[in-house]
């Protein structure tokens, strides 16, 4: 049995202690607003759009290697529309179906788009277009796992958590930088 005491997990069997809460948060100020990044010891836990200006007012600069890699990714992306920086992701709580969808999204080049139906076919689940949309809705890795590059079959934008204005902006940004 393990208990949490003062930020540490105490293991009574072998009397060892290790940090229980090594979660760090920082904000990156991008052209579309603040992007919040949450990291843990196993990798990036989330990258998301921060809607309120008050949030992350005084976040420390990125310190550890995972934070620095996430910062580098965002900096490169918003400078050139792409980034070669690979991030280690903490995939806890993500289903195998969602992982397969996210892997398919990582193969979409910047400036290009696919449909929900194409992604479903790519992961060998041709009838799962709606489930793909559901997985994209849950995507905790905004921009890195590029759910903004997925459209409806009729060419409409579909949905996007932070708002369709941002989806349009990101697609336009990538298309401009691609030239």
Q: What is the pLDDT of residue 56?
A: 53
Question: Is pLDDT at 4 greater than 60 in this prediction?
Answer: no
Residue 52 contacts residue 63 (beta carbons within 8 Å): no
| Separation CA 1–CA 12 (nearest Å) | 7
Beta strands in 68-164 (DSSP E): 114-115, 150-151
pTM to 2 decimals? 0.81
Q: What is the predicted pLDDT for the residue at 20?
A: 52
Number of residues assigned to the chain? 179
Residues whose CB is less than 8 angstroms from the CB of residue 28 and which lie 6 or more positions away in sequence, other chains included: 34, 35, 36, 37, 71, 74, 75
147 catalytic per annotation? yes
pLDDT for res 159 = 87
pLDDT interval class at 124 (50, 70, 90)? very high
Catalytic residue among 120, 147, 170, 171: 147
pLDDT grade, residue 55 (50/70/90)? low
Give the C-alpha separation, 106 to 158, whole Å. 19
What digits encode the pLDDT tens for the residues 30-49?
999 889 999 988 999 999 99
């Amino acid at each position: 049995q393990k208990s949490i005491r003062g930020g540490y997990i105490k293991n009574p069997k072998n009397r060892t202690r290790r940090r229980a809460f090594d979660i760090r948060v920082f904000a990156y100020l991008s052209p579309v607003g603040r992007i919040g990044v949450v990291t843990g010891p196993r990798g990036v836990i989330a990258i998301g759009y921060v809607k309120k200006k008050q949030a992350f007012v005084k976040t420390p600069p990125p310190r550890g290697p995972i934070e620095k890699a996430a910062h580098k990714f965002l900096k490169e992306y918003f400078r050139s529309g792409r980034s070669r920086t690979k991030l280690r992701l903490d995939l806890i709580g993500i289903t195998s179906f969602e992982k397969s969808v996210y892997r398919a999204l990582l193969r979409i080049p910047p400036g290009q788009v696919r449909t929900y139906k194409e992604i479903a076919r790519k992961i060998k689940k041709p009838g799962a277009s709606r489930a793909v949309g559901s997985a994209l809705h849950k995507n905790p890795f905004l921009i890195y796992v590029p759910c903004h590059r997925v459209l409806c079959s009729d060419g409409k934008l579909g949905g996007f958590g932070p708002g369709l204005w941002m989806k349009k902006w990101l697609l336009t940004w990538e298309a401009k930088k691609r030239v």
